[in-house]
Amino acid sequence: MKTKIFAAAAVLAMSISSGYAAGYSPFSQASLEDANKGGMPYDLTQPKPDNPNSLSGMRIGILAAPGVETEEIVFPYDFLKARGARVDIVVPSWVGKRVVVLDFVRPVLVAQGDKTFAEAAKENYDMLIIAGGVLNSQVLRTDGDAIALIKAQARKRHHFVASVCSGGQVLISAGLAKGKRLTASDPVKQDLINAGANFTGNPAEIDGNLVTGKDPSAMREFMMAIEEVLAGTEKVSGDSIGVPEVPLRKASRVRFE
């Protein structure tokens, strides 16, 4: 019996070996068609502002790194601008102030940054928004300048930090999650619980000077919560926890050739 098993294993090994010897590989070059299959479609339309000046005088920084999710940077940018806010796209120092924007895994835009994280530390933002995107969040949470910027913002009275989707992981790295009522995308749920947060899974949450959103499908609720706290229509309990503009709509599209 053992002889038969060893013989079968030898035949299988020879078959696999001969296959590789003949040039077999499970990998092939990705095509334009393959790239365009990427993405997670969301039918999101901008709500019309009740007051186009509701955020007039507010300064907002959107933190973004390569791999930032399209709806989680474009939607907030357009929403805030439509209500009179001044918005900066804040990026890592090593990207030349340009970041690739993804639909999940498919590059679709290049966004022009206004400030680096180090430069933004010298500014006075009413709110910093941590955009989502799996790659984006991993870059942000390991960038010392980004974490220092977020921590400093969280220590200021009457200043806010917001995150959406996988941006919740950045809150963990900045030490802001423990004891807070937060929401984020489902894959981040256990991370937040392990960090001591009260994870709700709701579309949006406000706790102190933290505002969090679940994922791209909840962008309306997330941004409406942000408008509430910035416009002063939401009662925010507790104290702190712890510019040239380049419209994104003018960003260049990534081409696959």
| Tens-digit pLDDT profile for residues 99-154 | 999 988 888 899 999 999 999 999 999 999 999 999 999 999 999 999 999 999 99
Q: Is the pLDDT of residue 245 over 90?
A: no
Has residue 87 been placed in a domain? yes
Nearest of 202, 198, 190, 207 to residue 241 by alpha carbon:
207
Has residue 108 been placed in a domain? yes
**Token pair listed for 43:** 């039918």
CATH code of 183's domain: 3.40.50.880
Nearest of 135, 88, 144 to residue 114 by alpha carbon:
88
The angle that helices 144-155 and 134-141 make with each other, rounded to 10 degrees, is: 80
Q: How many structural domains does the chain have? A: 1
Q: Which helix or strand (DSSP H or E) is residue 66 part of?
A: none
Has residue 31 been placed in a domain? no
Q: Is the pLDDT of residue 156 over 80?
A: yes
| Tens-digit pLDDT profile for residues 14-44 | 554 555 556 777 876 666 566 555 555 666 7
Has residue 221 been placed in a domain? yes
pTM of the predicted model, to two decimals?
0.80
Using CB atoms within 10 A of its CB, is residue 161 exposed (0-12), middle (13-18) or buried (19+)? buried
Domain coverage including residue 67: 59-240
| Tokens 């994922």, residue located | 215
Q: What is the pLDDT of residue 246?
A: 30
Has residue 19 been placed in a domain? no
Has residue 26 been placed in a domain? no
Nearest of 83, 94, 102 to residue 39 by alpha carbon:
102
